[in-house]
Amino acid sequence: MGFISIDKFFIYIKHNWLQILLITLSIYDLRIDLRILIDFFTFSTLFHTISEHPLAITILISSPSLFKTISNA
């Protein structure tokens, strides 16, 4: 029907809690640099962000492949 049931949502969270936590912590680590990039984008700020936060950038880039899907069965 297009709506996700609450049970499937909690199952999805249960199977992907680590990935969600890592993404949240990565965004928290990058919060100041993201704010600077959004307000005043420069390539030097972008390169500085990538060089100073390689783990957070790697987690955000690789995160779509880490999520587990739930079958409709």
Q: DSSP state, 16?
A: S
pTM above 0.85, yes or no: no
* Residue 43, domain extent: 6-63
Residue 26 CB coordination number (10 Å)? 19
- The pLDDT value given to residue 7: 83
Please tell me whether residue 60 adopts helix, strand or coil conformation.
Answer: helix
Residue 69 is assigned to a structural domain of this protein = no
Please tell me whether residue 31 adopts helix, strand or coil conformation.
Answer: helix
Residue 8 CB coordination number (10 Å)? 12
- The pLDDT value given to residue 72: 53
pLDDT > 60? residue 44: yes
Residue 20 is assigned to a structural domain of this protein = yes
- The pLDDT value given to residue 73: 44
pLDDT > 80? residue 67: no
Instruction: Give residue 2's region: left, alpha or beta (phi > 0; psi -120 to 50).
Output: left
Residue 25 is assigned to a structural domain of this protein = yes
Domain count across the chain = 1
- The pLDDT value given to residue 71: 59
Residue 59 is assigned to a structural domain of this protein = yes
